[in-house]
Amino acid sequence: MPASAWLEQPSERRLRELSNLVASGAPYSTELAATIAADVETLRDLTFKFLRYLNAYTSPILRLPPEVMQEIFAHVTEQSAAFDGRAGWMRLGQVSHDFRSTLHSMRGLWAKVACNGVFWGQEEPLARAGDLPLTLRLCNQGDYIHPSRVDFVANKLARARSLFIYEQEDGILWNRDPKSISGAELPHLQNLHIHAKYRPTRDITWLPRSAYELEPVHAPLLRKVFLVNIFVPFPPGNLTSLTLSRASESRNLAIPDDHLPQPDAFLEMLRRCTKVEILCLEHIIPILHPASNKSYDHSNHDDRIQLPSLRKITLNSSRTRITSLWTHLSLPENVHVDIGVDYINDDDGGGATSDAYIDQERCSFLALFSHYFTHKIGAAACALAIELNTEKSITRCGFFKRVPEICADVDEGLPVVNLADEVNDAYTLLFDVWFYRCKWAEGHAPLAQFIESIPRTYLAHINNLDLTGLGVDDLRLLLPRLPRLHTISIFGPLTLPPLAALMPALPAGGGSTACVPVPELRHLRLVGILLLDGEKYMGNSWMLPCTDVIDLVTSRADAGCPLHSLKLIKIRSANFWEQALMDDFVHQLSQLVKEAEGSVWWSGLRRRSRVL
């Protein structure tokens, strides 16, 4: 490539001088050698400068103002974090000098990674962060954390904006007991998140009842507190989110009451949470006396704990502790109440049959909240989810309300829960109760008795029902209590879908007019059902013959209560169907239902999705 015009003559002249000098045989001169070396360094420096200008000219991003580049880099660092063994966003510094300079000037970025293992032992992150508050993060999930990093966190708490500690392995990452941190000055702290392993021998000295009454840290900016198996005395007055949890390694090992707060101190702490929007109390509730003789009547709440900002409350504990605490609370409207009776973390595998037990009092549990439900929820509860999981010994009863802004042009037929077991955007939870380690037994505490115990006022406005695991008899008991029901979703595949409960039947006393269950039913969804060709059951009572689906649709149409829509979602074939059989099944449904669609799977592998 020819030299640039401005460079050609000077460079050729200098090269001739050096060539003639070498050819002349003149004695060696250190000064001349130094001059040539200086030429080399000058040219190298010019080369780097020219490359930077070339990059700036050919790459528009390099011509952006520094503040815009910093905004872009901030998003990149969030999406590509740098951890031990991962360069992540640090690779940006290898792109160009300008990129590297921009990264070095982002003090907020370096304040977030001062405790990161990638930079551990280096002074640069702290120096680049300047005097900005730090983000301190330690997590030993699959990694070894050197004790010096733990000490670093303990020594830098006064500079912390956010503190995140997660102990999953045996190594101790938090070494400050409540007494040692009581009254500490933490002027920058906004988020306090410590998840410690359960260490019962340490709890004896670290978590006596008196620990919960120590002087709180001085943290005027603190807004979010999340403490598991540890306690840091905190000021509750300005908090917007509070999670307090005790979790043992064994699901059968209860937390000793001596390691929980005093009842009066616990209630006083809650009383000061006037700005809390999200509250989670998990196995931290002490033994409390009910607030009054009318324990569950929230009509007179002058002396009850007011939580005016609350949007969601989670109470996971024993049945008696939850109900006793409830008598002390006065909640505003539109609060998402999530209750886990005998809660077991799903990370521990959920409940097991060996852990399950029969409790007659479960049948009267929902009725204890009738005053709150009637006055704070009322007609807003329009959808219901009932789940019976015998494998995990879990029973659920959840009430939802409609979100009018979502799918505003659709009034019926929407799912309450989507395929990922998450609440559909069109609904939001109001009151959700989960019984863990739950067993129902005929003759003592049957599921039927629990269904009958649900107050009719709770069900008066339900028009959408999600079912998992219920049998025909239980569904027959539930349906007459839902007079407005127009949509049902039935989830499989562990039990046979109770379609017989939806079939018209002649009255027991005789007569020619069929009695149609749920006469307003117009929309049916079958999700994850094992569908069987023909009428044979192959010895498995949880496989649904396709003829049962045809019979249901036909009988309801003949009785004058036809389905408007039938959706078969992720249907699995229990045996391989010939294509002709599938086409015949599709054709029959399309003749009987106005709107039918389905996605069918064979042996768990999706082979076809078609609109019927």
Q: Are 405 and 426 in contact (CB under 8 A)?
A: no
* pLDDT at residue number 48: 82
**Shortest CA distance to 296 belongs to which of 276, 326, 337?**
326
Assigned token pair, 518: 């749920």
5-24 vs 30-58: helix axis angle to the nearest 10? 160
**Shortest CA distance to 569 belongs to which of 599, 609, 591, 542?**
599
The secondary element (H helix, E strand) that includes residue 572 is: strand 565-573
Query: What one-letter code names the amino acid at 592?
Result: L
How sure is the predictor about 603, in pLDDT bands with cuts at 50, 70 and 90? very low
* pLDDT at residue number 473: 92
Determine the Cα–Cα distance for residues 569 and 556; give it in Å rounded to an integer.
Answer: 21
Give the residues across from 191 on adjacent strands.
Answer: 162, 224
Give the domain ranges of the chain. Answer: 133-332, 348-491, 493-506+514-612
What number is the average pLDDT over the span 402-429? 84
Residues 197-233 pLDDT 10s:
999 889 889 999 999 999 999 999 999 999 999 999 9
What number is the average pLDDT over the span 274-297? 85
DSSP code at position 355:
G
* pLDDT at residue number 90: 66
Half-sphere exposure of 563 (CA within 13 A, CB side): 29
Determine the Cα–Cα distance for residues 171 and 473; give it in Å rounded to an integer.
Answer: 52
Torsion of CA 398, 404, 409, 412, to 10 degrees: 20
- 118: Cα separation from own chain's centroid: 28
Question: What distances in angstroms separate CA 103 from CA 52, 73, 74, 86, 132, one per listed residue?
Answer: 16, 8, 9, 17, 16
Query: What one-letter code names the amino acid at 188?
Result: H
Question: What distances in angstroms separate CA 540 from CA 352, 482, 537, 544, 578, one per listed residue?
Answer: 23, 31, 6, 9, 21
Assigned token pair, 609: 């999705």
Highest mean pLDDT among 39-43, 253-257, 342-346, 358-362: 358-362
DSSP states along 489-522 = EEE-SSS---GGGGS-B--TT--SSPBPSSTT--
Determine the Cα–Cα distance for residues 519 and 502; give it in Å rounded to an integer.
Answer: 9
Q: Are 19 and 36 in contact (CB under 8 A)?
A: no
Within a 10 A sphere around the Cβ of 576, how many other Cβ atoms? Answer: 10
Residues 389-415 pLDDT 10s:
988 899 999 999 999 888 877 888 888
Determine the Cα–Cα distance for residues 184 and 173; give it in Å rounded to an integer.
Answer: 19
Average pLDDT taken over every residue of the chain: 84
Radius of gyration of the chain (CA): 34
Query: What one-letter code names the amino acid at 75?
Result: H
Half-sphere exposure of 471 (CA within 13 A, CB side): 7
* pLDDT at residue number 18: 81
| pLDDT higher than threshold 80 for residue 606 | no
Residues 76-104 pLDDT 10s:
666 666 655 555 666 665 566 677 777 77
How sure is the predictor about 72, in pLDDT bands with cuts at 50, 70 and 90? confident
Give the residues across from 488 on adjacent strands.
Answer: 465, 524
Query: What one-letter code names the amino acid at 230?
Result: I
